[in-house]
A and B are shown apart, each in its own frame.
Chain A
Amino acid sequence: MAKRIGMEVSIAAAEAVKQANVDVISAYPITPQTHIVEHLAELVANGDLDADFFCVESEHSALSVCVGAAATGARTFTCTSSQGLALMSEITYIASGLRLPIVMIVSNRTLSAPLSIWNDHSDVMSIRDCGWIQFFVENGQESYDHVFAAYRLAEENSVLFPVIINMDGFILSHVIEPIELIEQGKIDQFLPPYQPVHQLHPDHPVTMGAFALPAIFAETKKAQEEALRSSMPKIIETWKAFGDMSGRYYHPVETYQAEDADTLLVTMGSYGETASVAVDKMREAGRSVGLVKIRLWRPFPFDDLKKATLHAKQLVVIDRAISVGACGPVASEVKAALYGNDQRPSVYNFVAGISGRDVTPSDFVKMVDKAEIEIAEGNKEGFEIYGVRG
């Protein structure tokens, strides 16, 4: 087993990008993503990474450079947060529509207004439907690991989609964690050079990004939709191959103490670790509570989620973003997944920890307490923002 060393998660993520041997990095600095690209800039400037680093004037350009570079067959990386992702949003749809295997880390941060630099998932939820494969990671090791899985998956000729790795800003990006780095030789074997199916090259002219008339647009979207859905087996296969290489196995939906639980917490991202501590506490007190963690946000793992949750009496879904005027986006998806089943658990939805407000294990216990009482009293579709004063 390789040695675990203490390092800031942002630095570990940047080291992974270096080990993935990218050709082009294009980024614009924004808190809390900054340390990742700063470290990459250093690696390139010092000659430790043979890549072109583009300092652009905006995030819109950062992703546009990646689109152009990926179209020529380069392995590309960018990284952003919050307003930066919002400014990129136009190009996120283009990268997916053109099926370019760009990898982006989003160090998740709240969208303004009010202006906030702290963590929640409102940034990535604003581009939820852009057609990228989207992962959420729980800790530093997963942040590092998913860079390799993301490139291998994105560049599979039967997949060819851009990938977002969502990593909670500050909560993950700015903490020091023990990270097990993988030997370069293993990475090189796991991640062969990118072989594009189509590329921009003067010797073989093609057109990318042409327009489509109404007579054919629906067919292009059907092709994109089918391709993203059918990437699911490849996602599972990639994580399996990664596990065989590293010893760490990942799945679209992961569970903790869930098999026999009446009440299940459902979380995404770094909440998983905190919630598992809360589950331990509640189990010690003899309560039938477990945890379901969604790692794969798109394509949404409907079947895996059903398998993990249908036996429970109630789900307590914790969202870190709010769809204003509706509910939390994870709860919407969870409800949609369960709707087709006659026997299904009640879903109680909390929006918690928005803009980085601390959510501790005891908060998870309080949310389970509240949800169980509300559901017992007949409020089976509850929704509230947790911990709001007044």
Chain B
Amino acid sequence: MTKPESEWTWKELSIGNVVLEPGNASEYRTGDWKTLKPVLNKELCIHCGLCYIFCPDMAYNLNEENYFIADLFYCKGCGICAKECPTGAITMVLEEEEK
């Protein structure tokens, strides 16, 4: 989508509100649903990838240092990664307001 939904006027909508751009759900910021965000303690991480496998939103990606990091644009803060992490490397903490 070229601009946020809150800026669209009724005259600009397609007939029947058909979504004409395939795959544009990736532009939807599900990350603003969360109250808790996952924080990784790299010293405990064993790079097993269970957080990546269990994440229901596929928010985890492997970074260049070989750590799996949650993309907070998509992460809803469910905490499954923290629950499944075998070494307790992921902690859920209150998300601070972004400045």
Decide yes or no whether B43 CB sits under 8 A from chain A.
no
Inter-chain contacts of B16 with A (CB < 8 A): 97-100, 160, 198, 208
A213 close to B20 (CB less than 8 A): no
Decide yes or no whether A216 CB sits under 8 A from chain B.
yes
Q: How many A-B residue pairs have CB under 8 A?
A: 53
Decide yes or no whether B26 CB sits under 8 A from chain A.
no
Question: In the assembly, what is the distance between CA of A384 and CA of B48, in Å?
Answer: 76
Decide yes or no whether B63 CB sits under 8 A from chain A.
no
Decide yes or no whether A210 CB sits under 8 A from chain B.
yes
Given contacts A100-B16, A198-B20, A207-B22, contact A223 B5 (CB under 8 A): no
Given contacts A198-B20, A205-B22, A206-B22, contact A219 B13 (CB under 8 A): yes
B6 close to A222 (CB less than 8 A): no
Inter-chain contacts of A222 with B (CB < 8 A): 10
B10 close to A220 (CB less than 8 A): yes
Question: In the assembly, what is the distance between CA of A100 and CA of B18, in Å?
Answer: 11
Decide yes or no whether B66 CB sits under 8 A from chain A.
no
Q: Which label, helix, strand, loop or mixed, suits the secondary structure of the A interface?
A: loop
Q: Which residues in A have some Cβ–Cβ distance to B below 8 Å?
A: 97-100, 160, 197-198, 205-208, 210, 212-213, 215-216, 219-220, 222-223, 226-227
B8 close to A198 (CB less than 8 A): no
Given contacts A213-B5, A215-B6, A216-B6, contact A223 B18 (CB under 8 A): no
Decide yes or no whether B2 CB sits under 8 A from chain A.
no
- Report how many residues on chain B are interfacial, defined by Cβ distance under 8 Å: 16
B8 close to A223 (CB less than 8 A): no
A210 close to B22 (CB less than 8 A): no
Decide yes or no whether B46 CB sits under 8 A from chain A.
no
A219 close to B10 (CB less than 8 A): yes
A198 close to B14 (CB less than 8 A): yes
Question: Could you write out 25 A-B pairs with CB less than 8 Å apart?
Answer: A97-B17, A98-B17, A99-B16, A100-B16, A160-B15, A160-B16, A198-B15, A198-B18, A205-B22, A206-B18, A207-B18, A208-B16, A210-B17, A210-B19, A212-B5, A213-B5, A216-B5, A216-B8, A219-B13, A220-B17, A222-B10, A223-B10, A223-B11, A223-B17, A226-B10
Question: In the assembly, what is the distance between CA of A216 and CA of B1, in Å?
Answer: 13
Q: Which residues in B have some Cβ–Cβ distance to A below 8 Å?
A: 4-6, 8-11, 13-20, 22
Inter-chain contacts of B11 with A (CB < 8 A): 223
Closest 5 CB pairs of A and B: A99-B16, A207-B19, A219-B10, A222-B10, A205-B22
Question: In the assembly, what is the distance between CA of A277 and CA of B22, in Å?
Answer: 59
Inter-chain contacts of A206 with B (CB < 8 A): 18-20, 22
Inter-chain contacts of B19 with A (CB < 8 A): 206-208, 210
Question: In the assembly, what is the distance between CA of A97 and CA of B14, in Å?
Answer: 12
Inter-chain contacts of A223 with B (CB < 8 A): 10-11, 13, 17
Question: In the assembly, what is the distance between CA of A38 and CA of B90, in Å?
Answer: 64
Question: In the assembly, what is the distance between CA of A223 and CA of B13, in Å?
Answer: 8
A199 → chain B, closest Cβ, in Å? 9
Residue of B nearest to A160 (CB): B15
Question: In the assembly, what is the distance between CA of A216 and CA of B11, in Å?
Answer: 12
B74 → chain A, closest Cβ, in Å? 17
Residue of A nearest to B4 (CB): A215
Residue of B nearest to A220 (CB): B17
Task: Point out which of B4, B16, B18, B19 has the most chain A C-beta atoms below 10 A from its C-beta.
Answer: B16
B14 → chain A, closest Cβ, in Å? 7
B5 → chain A, closest Cβ, in Å? 4
Inter-chain contacts of B15 with A (CB < 8 A): 99, 160, 197-198, 227
Question: In the assembly, what is the distance between CA of A99 and CA of B16, in Å?
Answer: 5
- Kindly identify which residue among B4, B9, B17 contacts A212, using a CB–CB cutoff of 8 Å: B17
Residue of A nearest to B9 (CB): A219
Question: In the assembly, what is the distance between CA of A52 and CA of B5, in Å?
Answer: 39
- Kindly identify which residue among A97, A215, A226 contacts B5, using a CB–CB cutoff of 8 Å: A215
Question: In the assembly, what is the distance between CA of A339 and CA of B17, in Å?
Answer: 35
Task: Point out which of A210, A213, A216 has the most chain B C-beta atoms below 10 A from its C-beta.
Answer: A216
Inter-chain contacts of A197 with B (CB < 8 A): 15
Inter-chain contacts of A216 with B (CB < 8 A): 5-6, 8, 13
A160 → chain B, closest Cβ, in Å? 6
Inter-chain contacts of A219 with B (CB < 8 A): 8-10, 13
B24 → chain A, closest Cβ, in Å? 8
Inter-chain contacts of A160 with B (CB < 8 A): 15-16
